Amino acid sequence: MLRKAVYPGTFDPVTYGHLDIIKRVANICDKLIVAIAQNVAKVPLFTLEERLEMLRESVKDIKNVYVDHFDGLLVDYLKRVEAKIIIRGLRAVSDFEYEFQQALANKKLYPECETIFLVTDSKYAYLSSSMVKEIAKFGGCVKDLVPDIVAKKLYIKFRNENAK
């Protein structure tokens, strides 16, 4: 049986913290789908198309990783793509409560699914998409935090916004 996993998230934008999780999972499963969730309460900075483009460019050299997006419940998406493994990353204790609740809710809705948590690499323990946006907004350098395509898009986005 193919070990197919789904790594869902907002990826607004993708960071080296996400990419570290993606690379590590790609080494231990047959196929990984990185799936952008569209229906989250957060209002994203980047459009779905921009997030897809940045993710696709960032994972283009990893052969068993695919990028997709979904609307609605994650468990319905899992069933649609015939996957039973959900990947999530854990940074600080502050991630835990939310992740714990989500994993239990998904298990309730789809008992055959399993959520697997990967602990962040300590280098990226502090890194989040929100922090990257905050730094970029005020002109800070994000080149060690995100792939080049993301750094460029952040620069353009905030240059245009700050010019308004």
Catalytic residues: 18, 42, 91, 129
Residue 164 CB, shortest distance to ligand ADP, in Å, is 26
Write out the two tokens for 56. Answer: 């696709």
Residue 3 CB, shortest distance to ligand ADP, in Å, is 19
CA dist 26 and 33 (Å) reads 10
Q: Does residue 127 touch ligand ADP according to CB under 6 A?
A: yes
What lies within 8 Å, CB to CB, of 132 at 6+ separation is: 13, 15, 142, 145, 146, 150, 154
Of residues 57, 68, 58, 1, the one with CA closest to residue 32: 68
Write out the two tokens for 136. Answer: 């970029």
The correct pick among 31, 69, 88, 157 for binding ligand ADP (CB under 6 A) is 88
The stretch near ligand ADP (CB under 6 A) out of 6-14, 50-58, 62-70, 143-151 is 6-14
Q: Does residue 13 touch ligand ADP according to CB under 6 A?
A: no
- Other CB atoms closer than 10 Å to residue 48's CB: what's the count? 15
Q: Does residue 21 touch ligand ADP according to CB under 6 A?
A: yes
Contacting positions for ligand ADP (CB under 6 A): 9-11, 15, 17-18, 21, 40, 88-89, 91, 95, 120, 124, 127-129
